[in-house]
């Protein structure tokens, strides 16, 4: 729907823009995650893997939007579970941290479609990963390195109950 606004490029009122109605794509992704978690919790045993795989893919996509609040697929899955449990309790006030707070700042080069990297968020996420790596004993890390050479990333992460970011940090360090 065109929305009248004052445009500096056309020198006055124009209708060359669009106003979004309804939920954002991020909100839609979380709503789909809620649907998948509900289906997973209420599924037959033979459907469990189907929903797990769909949630893993969705968690990977959500992770990209939710940094620095949620930085791994496991954290996204835990948040989906918390949202599910809140809905089961009837808690209408529960809110996911960071949802609706992502702001893109236009860079000074007038290219409004670029976004600025947030070095503090990246450093914070890297520090979290390193803290998780340090919690794992060295002998266990060596086992993870050995198995990661023989198995896929997903299999190694599942076997040792670690996130992909933690696995990458262990293998590279």
* pLDDT tens per residue, range 11-41: 555 555 444 555 678 888 989 999 999 999 9
Whether residue 108 has pLDDT greater than 70: no
* pLDDT tens per residue, range 37-95: 999 999 888 888 999 999 999 999 998 888 878 888 999 999 999 999 988 998 877 78
For the chain, domain boundaries: 24-89, 121-173
Per-residue pLDDT band for 141 (boundaries 50, 70, 90) equals very high
Closest to 97 measured CA to CA, from 82, 111, 112? 82
- Rounded CA-CA distance 153/171 in Å is 11
* pLDDT tens per residue, range 112-134: 455 555 667 778 888 888 999 99
* pLDDT tens per residue, range 146-166: 988 888 888 888 888 888 889
Handedness of CA 41, 47, 49, 50 (dihedral sign): negative
């Amino acid at each position: 729907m065109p929305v009248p606004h004052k445009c500096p490029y056309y020198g006055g009122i124009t209708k060359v823009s669009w106003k979004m109605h309804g939920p954002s794509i991020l909100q839609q992704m979380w709503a789909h995650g809620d649907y998948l978690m509900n289906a997973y919790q209420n599924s037959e045993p033979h459907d469990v893997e189907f929903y797990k795989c769909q949630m893993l893919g969705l968690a990977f996509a959500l992770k990209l939007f939710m940094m620095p609040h949620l930085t791994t697929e496991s954290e996204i899955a835990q948040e989906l579970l918390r949202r599910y449990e809140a809905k089961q309790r009837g808690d209408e006030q529960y809110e996911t941290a960071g949802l609706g707070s992502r702001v893109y700042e236009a860079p000074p080069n007038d290219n409004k479609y670029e976004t600025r990297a947030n070095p503090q968020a990246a450093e914070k996420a890297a520090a979290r990963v390193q803290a998780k790596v340090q919690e794992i004993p060295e002998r266990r890390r060596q086992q993870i390195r050995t198995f990661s050479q023989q198995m896929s990333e997903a299999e190694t992460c599942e076997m040792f109950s670690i996130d992909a970011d933690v696995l990458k940090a262990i293998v590279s360090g």
